[in-house]
Amino acid sequence: MVLVAASLLLFTRASVDGSYVEHVLPVMILLGFGIGVCFPALMSIAMSGATQADAGLASGLVNTSAQVGGAIGLAVLATLSATRTDNLIADGASTASALTSGYHLAFLIGAGLVVAAIAVALAVIEPLGQPAHDEAADSEAVGGEPAYSEAG
């Protein structure tokens, strides 16, 4: 996810008269690598807590959330970009510089959202080897009754 955020930030450096080889190609390679590495891992993490009986439902929910979230995110970023572009054109900026500035805003906000996702992941995901705290197991360890049982 760090590679995705870095790629989006690098896109904000593209100038109106920039070249594909200098401003787009290297960033697209970095972005493609970042997405290719993080999306399968994110899907695995999202599915890791699902039981075998709920795997189909969980998979459908994860994929639907990714599709809807991507569509909404794209719509919001495109709207913000277009609004900035329109405002700059109304203020007298050239169309090319206004479009570039609008895209820069969208890439910057996108990078900020990815950084926020990284922060959430660091706060929520538990490191390997550290089991989640299980109060029922603690209760049994001290000789108490389990909070519930599978048998009823």
Domain boundaries, the chain: 2-45+59-124
Cβ of 51: how many Cβ atoms within 10 Å? 8
pTM (two decimals): 0.76
36-89 pLDDT per residue, tens: 999 888 888 888 888 888 888 988 998 999 899 999 999 999 999 999 999 999
Cβ–Cβ under 8 Å, residues 33 and 6 = no
Give the whole-angstrom CA distance, residue 51 versus residue 57. Answer: 10
